[in-house]
Amino acid sequence: MNHDELYKALCKVPNGKEKSRDKIIIELYMRSEGASQKQLVDALNMRPATVSEQTDILIELGYVTKHIDYMDKRISVVGLTEEGKRLGKSLLHSYDQFLNVLFSDFSDDEKDDLYRLLGKLKRPILSK
């Protein structure tokens, strides 16, 4: 099990909005080609309004860009600026360090069990 898989599993665990910007930055960093807002909603288990609101803030802060998809003009593609890529790398590094400390007492089998159990969590129904 790698940290990307564990990160995605932990994203299913409900939490507050306080880290939603960091999650968006990390998700975009891991998807170097960018993502639609719907893809972010699905990957991060966030409400569409939250992703839209936080993306707009990240654009204002200079970390994210948004442009119309060339193949489907109805879709906006969100990507990282150079500053956003630097932040994403830093956040992912910090997250890796956090995971290493958090799971330092877990055996590989225990980590695998946790990952499997987190994968069983049901996503709440998101209102559109």
**Comparing 126 with 25, which gets the higher pLDDT?**
25
The pTM for the full model equals 0.72
For position 12, what pLDDT does the model report? 52
Confidence of residue 63 (pLDDT cuts 50, 70, 90): very high
Is residue 92 within 8 Å of 4, Cβ to Cβ?
A: no
Give percent of the chain with pLDDT exceeding 70: 80
Residues whose CB is less than 8 angstroms from the CB of residue 103 and which lie 6 or more positions away in sequence, other chains included? 111, 114
Residues whose CB is less than 8 angstroms from the CB of residue 45 and which lie 6 or more positions away in sequence, other chains included? 11, 12, 123, 124, 126
Distance, in Å, from the CA atom of 81 to the CA atom of 65, rounded to the nearest integer, reads 6
Which tens digits make up the pLDDT trace of 65-102?
998 888 888 888 999 999 999 999 998 888 888 888 88
Which tens digits make up the pLDDT trace of 103-121?
889 898 998 888 888 777 7
Please report the domains of the chain, with CATH numbers, ordered by start residue.
3-119 (1.10.10.10)
